[in-house]
Structure 1
Amino acid sequence: MHPEQVPPVLADALFRPVRTGNAFEETMERMLQAIRLGAIPPGGRLPPERELSARLGISRVTLREALRALQESGHVESRRGRYGGTFVRPVPTHRAVAGPPPSPEAVEDTLTLRFVLETGAAETAAARALGPQVRRHLRACLQDCASAPPTDYRRTDSRLHLAIAEATGAPSLTGAVADVRSRLNALLAAIPRIPANIEHSDAQHRDIVNAILDGDPPAARTAMAEHLAGTASLLRGFLA
């Protein structure tokens, strides 16, 4: 099936405009969904960049970043020449852990619990009068995460999110965030690390920590919600 043979209604549903806050991650989710559902089967060619960027409501730079990530993860390949383009490859396996893949229900359960806990943690931390030690710790965790090599990124990412929970002064909440983070890391281990997503996450981490340190609860909650939505889009795209 060629892209132009995809029924218009299906194409509109799969390649609908994304939100600007997590444009890269949501573009990945849309593309992976189209591949997973077989709208564009193995060997099929994706629509041209101009058409895709217009449908998704994103820049061609963002689209190319997503296509490059999909190529690196083994989902698509680029071919040159008169009949070139971006073609879907057989779905690769990235799972680094043994056992069956998580069910869509398990993925959604983890993402929902994380959203409730971590948006609340960011909002609560921003509402508190934080002492110098807590403020230094947040900044240090932020810097460690931003400067971490790829092999250490998820550990420092986890530590930053736990530091935000610790800043609430509620040990039970910190424990709950630690539990859900363990579940999240098991999901993240089953998908490839994507440099563009990590760069985006680093920028969002700065927004979250700055809002907390500025004592702005609504901004901290909003920044955390946007950050979590980006990760959720990737996990749904790869695993759902």
Structure 2
Amino acid sequence: MDTAGDALFRPVRTGNAFEETVERLLQAIRLGVVPPGERLPAERELAARLGVSRVTLREALHALQEAGFVESRRGRYGGTFISASLPVGGGPVPPPSVGSLEDALTLRTALEAGAAEAAAARVLSGYDRDHLRARLAECESAELTDYRRKDSRLHLAIAEVTGSASLTSAVADVRMRLNELLDGIPLLPRNIEHSNQQHAVIVAAVLDGDPAAARSAMTEHLDGTAALLRGFLS
């Protein structure tokens, strides 16, 4: 593996291991570090280089296989190979420019991390608390095809309980912009599972009245989504 491979296949951060593993693998594929038709390093080696468990690596590879980026071959000369014909984009929308993608992600982090912090700093009413718990429950039980709508509703609910109509409106606007980007990438069940775990931590921090924890948990959650968007769309 050349120096580009060394740079891309470096240890990921631990907060969003699955999402960042997908991002690193997609970067290696899109940049041609591992060309179409070529084999990725063996699972044991790749997991060690990325600093993730083999379970996490396999989940990432499975997601990329379902999305059409890699294929698995059995036998003596088997392994995981880059698809000879790579998908063009992630979905029906054209890939955004790097500048517009980063602009959207920066704006989202500023607004939504701030919203989580502000919500946790506020004395919430019984209605506010029930509202957050209900939106969280809906997200956790959502069908795959309805997940993004329920996810959007939960994020908007966090902004709503800040009591700021202006902030809620701004979060709604940025969420519409984000959903246009998310429509360009596939839904990954492992990412949804992880997102729901993070949602629970965010809501718990808000309900516990811990602004620092709420901001930190939301930031980590948004970083995971950003990693997938950069991987699929950059």
**2:197 is the alignment partner of 1:203:** yes
- How does 1:44-123 map onto structure 2 within 5 Å? 44-89=38-83, 90-93=85-88, 95-98=90-93, 100-123=94-117
Gaps of 5+ in 1: 1-5
* Residue aligning to 1:146: 140
Indicate yes or no: 2:30 matched with 1:36.
Answer: yes
TM-score by length of 1: 0.95
Aligned to 1:186: 180
1:27-53 deviations in Å (ceiling 9; x for gaps): 000000000000111101000001101
SS at match of 2:39: coil
- Structure 1 vs Structure 2: percent identity of aligned residues? 70
Aligned length: 233
State the secondary structure of the residue aligned to 1:12.
Answer: helix
Q: Confirm or deny: 8 A CA contact 2:70 2:81 kept in the other structure.
A: yes
In the alignment, which of 221, 224, 229 is matched to residue 218 of structure 2?
A: 224
Quote the Cα distance in structure 1 between the aligned partners of 2:217 and 2:133.
Answer: 16
Q: TM-score, normalised by structure 2?
A: 0.98
Aligned in 2, Cα 1:95/1:84: closer, same or farther, shift over 3 Å? closer
CA distance in 1, matches of 2:12, 2:47: 10
Specify the code of the residue in structure 2 equivalent to 1:93: V
| Alpha-carbon distance in structure 1 between the residues aligned to 2:172 and 2:225 | 17
- Cα-to-partner distance string for 1:98-130 (whole Å, 9 max, x where unaligned): 5x3211111111000000000000000000000
Which residue does the alignment assign to 1:239?
Answer: 233
C-alpha distance in 2, partners of 1:189/1:218? 31
How big is the shift at 1:94?
Answer: 5.3
State the shift of 1:82 in Å.
1.0
What CA deviation, in whole Å up to 9, does each residue of 1:121-172 have, x standing for no partner? Answer: 0000000000000100000000001001011100000000000000111111
| Other structure's SS at 1:45 match | coil
What root-mean-square deviation, in Å, do the aligned CA atoms of Structure 1 and Structure 2 show? Answer: 0.9
Kept after mapping to 1: 8 A contact 2:96/2:233: yes
| CA offset digits 1:175-197 (Å, max 9, x no partner) | 10000000100000000000000
Q: How has the CA–CA distance of structure 1 residues 151 and 127 changed in structure 2, closer, same or farther, with 3 Å as cutoff?
A: same
Q: Would the aligned equivalents of 2:90 and 2:233 in 1 still touch at CA under 8 Å? A: no
**How far does residue 95 in structure 1 lie from its aligned partner after superposition?**
4.5
Contact kept, 8 Å, 1:94 with 1:192, in 2: the verdict is: no
Unaligned residue ranges in structure 2 (runs of 5+): none
Whether the aligned pair in 2 keeps the contact of 1:122 and 1:217 (CA below 8 Å) is yes
